[in-house]
């Protein structure tokens, strides 16, 4: 009989978290029965095709406790009879003394609801992200006595207090994280470093088949055929879009380029205003959040992918952005920065181009070099394609997770039809 878990997420479904969706579906194909517990209701209007393939039921917890007071009160009344109630409240009180926030109260309320509404037969709890979702999961585990584990990524690690990370690492059964930098940091904090595992997300290449390899010819010299730049990412500080806009504005006026940005986010209007102030808004196409198939089409039309990730004041940073792997899977040369796990994917000047984070000047120089040299882009794109296929196949990471979940070995299925190769453009 297959194992049954409840997976806790901050929100579901989310267009920006395809790596989680592909993991869920892959584990379902390996026989794991999953219920999704979401702390928030969805805000994205569109969905990726993979969301329609996922079989898991979704339990939406109260996003704010005052919105469902009767449900929360009923959960508390029932939870008082759970064997771990006193232990959970003791741990929560210790946390509250160090973090007197409304969010800390909300985490407890959501955990009470989760513990009393868990599907019968749940054997294990699993959280994606080590901050809020893991806190809810931890309190639920204390209430119910169930084992729990987690995956850690980026913001959830680097903006969390060390004391809270240490205590979670001491209690969970195992933790998977997606970069070597994360792995080193969390292993140093953990009283049992052997529980911390490096698991790359990788790509499901059935969804990102290699395109027809087209010759790079655009060099920025012809206004009728500008070099097509693309960046995919939420408009948040750590993505470095302010630096990218400054770098683009500093390029020679005679250089012909066009940027497509895909993604929503709270800073979008501010960035659009910055582009207007810099006089480059006519060269930028702000597309907003798009479904995966449309994003794939845009990769295949582009000449160069750019992501200017950086560390921001509160410590937040990218881990290993899946969009870089997606772009490389299409033979697209990538320009990014030397932070977190990005150098684990991109070997500088070999399978992509890296610059120091937070440096618009370095970014401008690299852009000028890559825009004007199509043969260099061709070489970097070809090597990046080989790199991502050789090291970042999603199935390797799923194999590791399947072992951590004690799933029996099972033959892989190919239920998903691969997307067709590109034939929309003659040249890049």
* Model pLDDT, residue 73: 98
pLDDT in tens, 312-346: 999 989 989 999 999 999 999 999 999 989 999 99
* Predicted confidence band of residue 44 (pLDDT cuts 50, 70, 90): confident
Lowest mean pLDDT among 33-42, 69-78, 288-297, 360-369: 288-297
pLDDT in tens, 397-409: 999 999 999 997 6
Domain 227-390 falls in which CATH fold? Rossmann fold (3.40.50)
* Model pLDDT, residue 415: 42
Counting residues of the chain whose pLDDT is more than 70, the rounded percentage is: 95
Please tell me if the domain spanning 4-202+394-404 has the same topology as the one spanning 227-390: yes
* Model pLDDT, residue 418: 47
Asked if 120 and 144 touch (Cβ cutoff 8 Å), the reply is: no
Q: Is the pLDDT of residue 221 over 80?
A: yes
> Residue ranges per domain, the chain?
4-202+394-404, 227-390
pLDDT in tens, 267-276: 999 999 999 9
In order, the DSSP letters of 79-123 are HTTSTTHHHHHHHHHHHHHH---HHHHHHHHHHHHHHHHPPTT--
Q: Give the C-alpha distances (Å, rounded to integers) separating 281 from 263, 270, 273, 278.
A: 17, 12, 8, 8
Mean pLDDT of 46-52: 86
Q: What is the mean pLDDT of the chain?
A: 92
Domain 4-202+394-404 falls in which CATH fold? Rossmann fold (3.40.50)
Handedness of CA 129, 104, 136, 266 (dihedral sign): negative
pLDDT in tens, 178-191: 999 999 999 999 99
* Model pLDDT, residue 426: 37
pLDDT in tens, 235-269: 999 999 999 999 999 999 999 999 999 999 999 99
Asked if 183 and 1 touch (Cβ cutoff 8 Å), the reply is: no
Dig out the tokens for 272 from the structure. Answer: 């659009």
Q: Is the pLDDT of residue 164 over 80?
A: yes
Quote the pTM value. Answer: 0.83
């Amino acid at each position: 009989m297959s194992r049954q878990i409840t997976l806790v997420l901050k929100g579901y479904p989310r267009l920006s978290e395809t790596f989680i969706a592909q993991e869920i579906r892959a584990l379902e194909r390996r026989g794991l029965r999953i219920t999704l517990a979401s702390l928030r209701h969805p805000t994205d209007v569109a969905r990726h095709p993979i969301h329609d393939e996922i079989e898991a039921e979704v339990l939406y917890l109260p996003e704010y406790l005052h919105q469902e007071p009767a449900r929360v009160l009923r959960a508390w009344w029932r939870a008082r009879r759970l064997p771990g109630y006193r232990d959970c409240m003791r741990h929560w009180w210790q946390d509250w003394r160090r973090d007197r926030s409304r969010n800390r109260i909300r985490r407890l309320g959501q955990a009470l609801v989760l513990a009393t509404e868990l599907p019968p037969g749940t054997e294990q709890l699993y959280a994606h992200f080590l901050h809020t979702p893991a806190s809810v999961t931890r309190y639920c585990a204390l209430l119910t006595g169930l084992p729990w584990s987690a995956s850690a990524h980026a913001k959830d690690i680097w903006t969390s207090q060390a004391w809270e990370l240490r205590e979670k690492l001491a209690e969970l059964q195992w933790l998977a994280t997606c970069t070597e930098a994360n792995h080193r940091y969390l292993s140093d904090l953990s009283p049992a470093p052997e529980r911390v595992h490096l698991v790359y997300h990788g790509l499901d290449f059935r969804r990102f088949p290699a395109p027809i390899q087209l010759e790079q010819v655009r060099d920025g010299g012809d206004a009728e055929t500008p070099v097509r730049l693309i960046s995919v990412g939420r408009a948040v500080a750590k993505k470095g879009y302010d630096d990218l806009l400054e770098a683009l504005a500093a390029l020679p006026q005679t250089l012909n380029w066009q940027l497509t940005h895909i993604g929503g986010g709270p800073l979008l209007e501010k960035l659009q205003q910055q582009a207007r102030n810099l006089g480059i808004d006519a060269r930028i196409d702000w597309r907003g959040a798009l479904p995966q198939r449309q994003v794939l089409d845009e990769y295949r039309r582009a000449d160069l992918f750019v992501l200017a990730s950086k560390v921001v004041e509160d410590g937040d940073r990218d881990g290993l952005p899946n969009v870089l792997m997606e772009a490389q899977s299409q033979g697209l040369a990538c320009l990014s920065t030397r932070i977190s796990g990005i150098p684990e994917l991109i070997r500088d000047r070999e399978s992509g181009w890296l610059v120091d984070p937070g440096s618009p000047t370095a970014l401008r120089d690299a852009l000028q070099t890559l825009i004007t040299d199509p043969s260099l882009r061709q070489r970097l794109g070809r090597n990046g394609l080989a790199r991502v296929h050789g090291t970042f196949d999603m199935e390797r990471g799923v194999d590791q997770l399947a072992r951590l979940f004690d799933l029996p070995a099972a033959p892989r299925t190919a239920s998903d039809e691969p997307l067709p190769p590109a034939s929309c453009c003659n040249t890049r």
